[in-house]
Amino acid sequence: MYRVEQFYADLGWPRPKRLSMTVPRNERRQSLVQKIYWYESGDRDSYVLQVNTYPKWYAAVFAIRFRIFTGWHKIPKLPVMRFPKSQLDLAVELFHVSHFASVNGRRQYRKDHPESVGFTWTKIRALGPATFD
């Protein structure tokens, strides 16, 4: 069985922490709430891989210190019997820790993914959730 922890390991990240938060379900009926779940690995002060698991499965790397944000990319719901190789290859291209852990890795990532460059927390909040699926 392929699990979230294996996804992180295949991308070179340390074992993730599971987190949750309760938020209003919608703005008109704030009495209705839902619990949001996600996993994180890394350090928010430099770079972190976040996988949202509920309500939908998306992954993104925030490397705001270096002005890089991958945007949210849909991933298969885990656990699964087998993670599709084509999707794992894409995840490695987008999220592998080696892209963010060194100056050379970040330089190459900026060159290969110009759409992910120039981000700040302020810009991300203003744009709202970015998805590329």
pLDDT of residue 30: 57
Q: Which residues contact 57 (CB under 8 A, 6 or more apart)?
A: 51, 74, 75, 76, 77, 78
Question: In whole angstroms, what is the distance from residue 89 CA to residue 102 CA?
Answer: 21
Residue 133 counted as domain residue? no
pLDDT of residue 119: 94
Say which amino acid occupies 43: D
pLDDT of residue 125: 87
Residue 90 counted as domain residue? yes
pLDDT of residue 112: 97
Residue 36 counted as domain residue? yes
Contact yes or no for 69/116 (Cβ under 8 A): yes
Question: In whole angstroms, what is the distance from residue 105 CA to residue 97 CA?
Answer: 9
Residue 132 counted as domain residue? no
pLDDT in tens, 83-121: 888 999 999 999 999 999 999 999 999 999 999 999 999
pLDDT of residue 126: 87
**In total, how many domains does the chain have?**
1
- What range defines the domain where residue 34 resides? 4-127
pLDDT of residue 132: 56
The secondary structure element, H or E, covering residue 62 is: strand 58-63
Residue ranges, the chain, pLDDT below 70: 25-33, 129-133
Please state the pTM of the whole predicted model: 0.87
121, with CB counted inside 10 A (0-12, 13-18, 19+), is exposed
